[in-house]
Amino acid sequence: MAAVSEAYAAEAAWPTVQQKTLTLHTVHPTQFMDVTRLIEAAVQQAGLHAGVVTVQTRHTTTGILINEYEPLLLADFRALFERLAPSRYDYAHDDFLRRTVNLTPDERPNGHAHCRAALLRSSETLAVRGGLLDLGRWQRVIFVEFDGAQRRQVTLTMMGTPAPKR
């Protein structure tokens, strides 16, 4: 019985956890970046066959969105965010005479960006099946910038099993 267990253990694919940081450069104050291919490449590079990948933005004025990446829809999103959290509004966060915490010498007024990002998620977890992201026909992973242009980072945590050996 021990020989069977040892043989099985030698053949079994053990779960793996790998992390990778993607660096993105945004150029517009509000920007939608399709990062699906970058995530797919990281999953393939990691050799992940089945499992999950968590995509997490490391910034409080950005978000992660799973949706269709279609130009007119992105324009609708842009208009929606402007209606819900207008860029020209009197945000308390932007009153540097009253605000006393989390200030940097190069602080910029970005209360609208924080409010917009609060409407999205800071992370999404996606299934990986057969070494590919298990997305629907039109689904894409979109990094949403609300306070660009800036250098941004997205952390990928990939968990699962590698491809079976043949």
Looking at residues 89-96, what average pLDDT do you find?
96
* 5 inside domain: no
What percentage of the chain has pLDDT greater than the value 90? 86
pTM of the model: 0.89
Q: What region does 148 belong to: left with phi over 0, alpha with psi -120 to 50, or beta? A: beta
* 42 inside domain: yes
Q: Which amino acid is at 87?
A: S
Band of residue 101 on the pLDDT scale cut at 50, 70, 90? very high
Predicted pLDDT of residue 165: 75
* 76 inside domain: yes
Give the distance between the most distant pair of CA atoms in the chain: 74
* 14 inside domain: no
Predicted pLDDT of residue 15: 86
Whichever domain contains 113, its CATH number is: 2.60.120.460
Looking at residues 97-115, what average pLDDT do you find?
94
Is pLDDT at 12 greater than 70 in this prediction? no
Predicted pLDDT of residue 39: 98
Number of domains forming the structure of the chain = 1
Looking at residues 152-157, what average pLDDT do you find?
98
Nearest to 87 by CA among 65, 66, 61: 61
* pLDDT digit string, tens, across residues 119-135: 999 999 999 999 999 99
**Residue 25, both tokens:** 């450069």
Band of residue 4 on the pLDDT scale cut at 50, 70, 90? very low
* 12 inside domain: no
Band of residue 13 on the pLDDT scale cut at 50, 70, 90? low
* 3 inside domain: no
- For the beta sheet containing 139-145, the strands, ordered from the edge strand earlier in sequence to the opposite edge, are 31-34, 139-145, 62-68
Predicted pLDDT of residue 159: 97
| Mean pLDDT across the chain | 92
Looking at residues 62-72, what average pLDDT do you find?
98
Boundaries of domain holding 138: 26-162
Q: Which of residues 164 and 69 earns the better pLDDT score?
A: 69
Q: Which amino acid is at 99?
A: R
